[in-house]
Chains A and B, each alone.
Chain A
Amino acid sequence: MLKSEEQRLIRKAARGDRDAAGAIIRAHQKSVYAYLLRMSGRPDVAEDVTQEAFVRVLMNLDRFDPRYRFSTWVFTIARRLYVNACQKHKPAFDTEIVDGWQSSPCRPERPVERGEQADWTRESLDDALAQLSTQQREILVLFHQMDWPIALIAKHVGMPEGTVKSHLHRGRRRMREYLNEQKMFQEHEWEVWA
């Protein structure tokens, strides 16, 4: 969506236009949901936080500063809500909470939408991501899934760019080692990776 179009929709939605609000939600919900799904590993958590994030966004549109990227603002709110949700599940904040969710035996089955192969790939990927720390996982998701530049990630997570890169490199190294150990994604080796 063009920025000018987005600004127009934001102004209309801030005045109470439901159609504009719906358009804003539909433009950003997929990426926000995918981000939260990767972070939590749980569709129910991702759905709840995504919906709450958009409710907060739309109730506070008049506070959005148009000098900044709207999508980043949405992600900032979603991230904060997710952290709060983690906090709610455990009194003292602990990065292991997310890992705990990942390995929870009550974790729901993934929806089958693109066949068994797609599910297997997704589950393998989730397992690999679950090996990372919360920070490593988030930075990896933002960089490789959302295509955010390092500078933007640094601002989003409140770390220096060098630290972000360091987390990214360590995360990739850990993920690579895990894939090697588990013999995952070997079927892709025939592909021309260049």
Chain B
Amino acid sequence: MSSVGGHGDHHRERLFQELLDGTLSGERREAAILELRADPHRAAEIVRLRAALDAMRDDGHLAPDFSPAILDELGRRRGFLARSMRRVGTVARIAAVVGVVVGVGALATMRERSEGVLTPAPPAPMTQVVDAAERELGGCVRTLTIEARELGEGIGEVPEAARVLVARLGSTPKPLAIEPEPDSHILMLRWEIEPTRVLMTSGGVSYEPADLRAHLAGESEYAPNATGQTPGHAVWVVGSGSRWVRGARYAWPTVQPVRLERTSSFGLGKDAGYP
């Protein structure tokens, strides 16, 4: 350490750190170097530290080429090349189902019209729809809990942490908004969950919200209730920053109920919050 004590030492320490931070402009940098050089002990320290820090940059050449092994591993996990093909298959299947449903609906409507009979579905009272939506979203949250547990086991392999995660996620969601849209007869319900808080585990490791959202983005499914008077709806999860919302969009048609069998939509990619 420098033999200069007190204020001078503190001042030179600050100069020393600023010099290594690279925050000094040209003239100030020159002045700092001159001043630090005046203290031979300090100058020698800087030289040694600078040499050590420069040596840190020389490790890149040590890396072997991992690409063949990584590509082989990807093939084994069938998550890479097969993934795009699987996705194409999934999209095709969903398109086929939607096509059949729309076709059947159109045929039924045409037949009813041709017979001169219009049989609108009896509009359910708003409270019943809200109750049904709440029940189904309760189911969503339970599904979410299972997904969270699987994630915790898959990524962290720390059962204790996963249990904490599940227990906290399992709490009752708070409804954010119910937004009837008179023109299209759509009811919106949303629940907010705070992953930044709930994902901190007692073990000291946090699963970042992006982990969970990204996991849910591509692999979750929700099968809506297609029986009884439940109107067609879509369920989605969106994430942005620290907010994480899961909700449902309920179409509430008054003429002819159209039930969408598989309309889960998880639009998370853009909001995953990666740095």
Contact = CB atoms under 8 A, between A and B. Distances in A.
- B contact residues, range: 35 or more
A144 B63 contact: no
Interface in B71-127: 71, 73-74, 77, 79-81, 83-85
B262 to A, nearest CB: 20
Interface string B29-46: 000010001000001111
B212 to A, nearest CB: 12
Nearest to B75: A18
A115 interface: no
A60 to B, nearest CB: 7
A160 interface: no
B156 A193 contact: no
B59 interface: yes
B50 interface: yes
Nearest to B20: A172
Interface stretch (B135-143, B184-192, B251-259, B267-275): B267-275
Interface of A: 14-16, 18, 21-22, 25-26, 29-31, 33-34, 37-38, 43, 47, 50-51, 54-55, 58-60, 62-65, 68-69, 72-73, 76, 80, 83-84, 87-88, 91-94, 111, 113-114, 118, 121-122, 124-125, 128, 140-141, 144-145, 152, 155-156, 165, 168-169, 172-173, 175-177, 179-180, 184-186, 188-189, 191, 193-194
12 contacts: A22-B67, A30-B63, A47-B64, A87-B157, A93-B204, A93-B205, A113-B61, A125-B55, A140-B56, A177-B1, A179-B45, A188-B47
Interface of B: 1, 13, 17, 20-21, 33, 37, 43-53, 55-67, 69-71, 73-74, 77, 79-81, 83-85, 155-158, 160, 203-205, 208, 211, 214, 217-218, 268-270, 272, 274-275
